[in-house]
């Protein structure tokens, strides 16, 4: 694969270094748009005794040297979404790498949001990096090569092999190099910047919000240096990614500076209540033509159940103000399948979207079922069901032309997200095809009852493995509040003693 990149550091010659294949379960364009992937890649190469080379699914060979996976002594994989796990298994198989860990000479370490329930990966990988891996990934690589047979989590902190591991939270003192590629998933010569990490609001369905709480903000000087380096490396547009992107105390200043420099920028989903008229003016001067917000649902009761109190009239008012200021479109992220949901709640979502459409702004609605996630209060919520998802999808597509999720893919994603070691066996049997019938057939061959992963109040064995800092007691209280429809204030308004900051 011919690469056109700027700003990639020269980490120098390292005779006798550990050779690591760092794999992203997506295309080159997707990998270069992944800050998590590029951060771990940089941290590996900054170690004096490690050389890491990139692998992506649209190339059978390393991007740096054109060698196959089996030419490396260890494999590190960054996995961000549940359905990337079958993709990575398919890629490993295509490279003639045995999938079962006991049959493989080359050890594999995985990390990323989709691995915070490590159980489905037990038959496959040798270790799982729990949480944010910047500080410990190099030690994990060394440790697994030195102690692979008898290694426990005590050998390297925050890395799970067996027993229990604590979730790592990075202080954001480190940032990756501002590498710019000719093409990425979000645009040409994009510079990707993470101003903050984590979130204070505690939406009860959100994996990031419950594993990376509270929000941590980067220093203003670090953000500005990151941008300056990216522009110097031929960057043409700045893309900001964070869970609460406008919550950073200096974000408005950063955006104003870019506007004065005539440097275009883009932001991920934003909270509607941070989009004041002044902020909308700043965004327009930066070249934004579209805004993305996530009201999730429209009924007051369901807002309380998921702990996301965004008033419908606030979204409509935002659409009116955005239209007046020259924005062309408003994208809405919406959810369904919330415990206690009724047909009337679905009708309210449709009404909200139609009310926004009446403002005259172009509306793009993305409507998806809730996928229960480990370590969140929704880990006890039932999968909505394929037939229910189909029926809601039809209404959404017909009445508001929403983009929807394939219900059978949602089923498979839930099985992986809520899985245990037996789901690991299912992955090994079914990874070649994400077809629903194929997975059902494989589960039947294994004698695996999939309903145990779909029902309400399921067992949560991942809580015995990965310690996120949030106590079981607090999670249970939040699950009870889902049933009762009660709000919990965000961290910055009042500490609820979840266990992270004050164990």
Residue 231 contacts by C-beta under 8 Å, 6 or more apart in sequence? Answer: 191, 263
pLDDT reported for residue 159: 85
pLDDT reported for residue 129: 93
Residue 241 contacts by C-beta under 8 Å, 6 or more apart in sequence? Answer: 35, 192, 193, 194, 268
SS3 495: coil
pLDDT reported for residue 244: 94
The DSSP code for 143 is: H
pLDDT reported for residue 151: 59
CA 219 to chain centre: 23
C-alpha 414/C-alpha 24 separation (Å) is 22
Please state the pTM of the whole predicted model.
0.95
pLDDT reported for residue 161: 84
Q: Token pair of 400, please?
A: 């508001």
User: φ, ψ for residue 458 (rounded to 5)?
Assistant: -65, 165
pLDDT reported for residue 162: 76
The 10s digit of each residue's pLDDT in 201-234 is 999 999 999 999 999 999 999 999 999 999 999 9
CA 424, 425, 426, 431 dihedral sign is positive
Count of CB atoms situated within 10 Å of the CB of 371: 23
C-alpha 130/C-alpha 128 separation (Å) is 6
Torsion of CA 443, 448, 452, 455, to 10 degrees: 30
How high is the mean pLDDT of the chain? 95
Q: What structural domains and CATH numbers belong to the chain?
A: 5-166 (3.40.50.280), 186-418+469-484 (3.80.30.20)
Asked if 73 and 103 count as a contact pair (C-beta separation under 8 A), the reply is: no
Q: Which residues of the chain have pLDDT under 70?
A: 148-155, 157
Place of tokens 């020269």: 10
Indicate the helix (H) or strand (E) that contains 428. Answer: helix 421-430
C-alpha 337/C-alpha 103 separation (Å) is 41
pLDDT reported for residue 105: 93
Count of CB atoms situated within 10 Å of the CB of 171: 11
The 10s digit of each residue's pLDDT in 357-402 is 999 999 999 999 999 999 999 999 999 999 999 999 999 999 999 9
pLDDT reported for residue 150: 65
Q: Token pair of 384, please?
A: 């909505």
The candidate with the shortest Cα–Cα distance to 192, out of 422, 7, 25, is: 7
The 10s digit of each residue's pLDDT in 13-70 is 999 999 999 999 999 999 999 999 999 999 999 999 999 999 999 999 999 999 999 9
Residue 393 contacts by C-beta under 8 Å, 6 or more apart in sequence? Answer: 367, 404, 405, 407
């Amino acid at each position: 694969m011919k690469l056109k990149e700027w700003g990639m550091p020269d980490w120098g010659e390292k005779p006798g270094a550990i050779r690591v294949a760092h794999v992203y379960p997506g295309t080159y364009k997707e990998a270069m748009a992944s800050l998590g992937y590029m951060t771990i890649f940089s941290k590996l190469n900054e170690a004096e005794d490690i050389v890491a080379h990139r692998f992506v699914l649209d190339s059978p060979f390393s991007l740096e040297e054109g060698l196959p996976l089996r030419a490396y002594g260890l494999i590190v994989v960054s996995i961000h979404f549940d359905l990337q796990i079958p993709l990575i298994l398919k890629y490993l198989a295509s490279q003639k790498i045995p999938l079962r860990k006991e049959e493989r000479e080359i050890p594999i370490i995985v990390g990323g949001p989709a691995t915070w329930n490590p159980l489905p990966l037990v038959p496959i990988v040798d270790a799982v990096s729990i949480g944010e891996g910047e500080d410990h990934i190099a030690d994990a690589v060394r440790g697994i090569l030195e102690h692979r047979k008898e290694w426990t989590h005590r050998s390297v902190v925050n890395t799970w092999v067996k027993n229990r591991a604590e979730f790592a939270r990075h202080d954001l003192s480190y940032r990756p190099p501002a590498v710019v590629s000719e093409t990425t998933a979000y645009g040409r010569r994009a510079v990707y910047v993470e101003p903050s990490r984590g979130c204070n609001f505690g939406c009860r369905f959100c994996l990031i919000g419950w594993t990376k709480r509270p929000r941590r903000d980067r220093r203003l000087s670090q953000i500005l240096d990151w941008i300056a380096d990216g522009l110097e490396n031929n960057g043409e547009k700045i893309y900001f990614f964070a869970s609460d992107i406008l919550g950073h105390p200096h974000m408005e200043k950063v955006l104003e500076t870019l506007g004065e420099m005539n440097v275009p920028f883009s932001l991920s989903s934003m909270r509607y209540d941070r989009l004041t008229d002044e902020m909308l003016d700043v965004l327009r001067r930066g070249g934004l033509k579209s805004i993305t917000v996530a009201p999730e649902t429209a009924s007051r009761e369901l807002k309380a159940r998921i702990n996301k109190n965004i008033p419908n009239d606030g979204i409509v008012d935002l659409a009116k103000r955005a239209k007046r200021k020259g924005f062309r479109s408003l994208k809405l992220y919406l959810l369904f399948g919330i415990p206690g949901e009724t047909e009337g709640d679905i009708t309210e979502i449709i009404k909200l979207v139609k009310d926004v459409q009446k403002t005259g702004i172009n509306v793009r609605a993305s409507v998806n079922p809730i996928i229960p996630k480990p370590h969140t209060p929704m880990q006890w919520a039932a999968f909505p069901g394929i037939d229910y998802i189909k029926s809601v999808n039809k209404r959404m597509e017909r009445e508001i032309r929403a983009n929807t999720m394939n219900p059978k893919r949602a089923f498979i994603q839930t099985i992986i997200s809520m899985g245990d070691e037996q789901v690991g066996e299912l992955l090994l049997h079914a990874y070649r095809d994400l077809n629903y019938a194929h997975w059902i057939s494989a589960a039947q061959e294994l004698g695996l009852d999939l309903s145990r992963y779909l029902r309400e109040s399921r067992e949560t064995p991942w809580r015995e493995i990965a310690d996120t800092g949030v106590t079981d007691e607090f999670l249970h209280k939040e699950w009870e509040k889902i049933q009762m429809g009660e709000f919990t204030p965000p961290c910055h308004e009042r500490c609820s003693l979840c266990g992270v900051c004050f164990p």
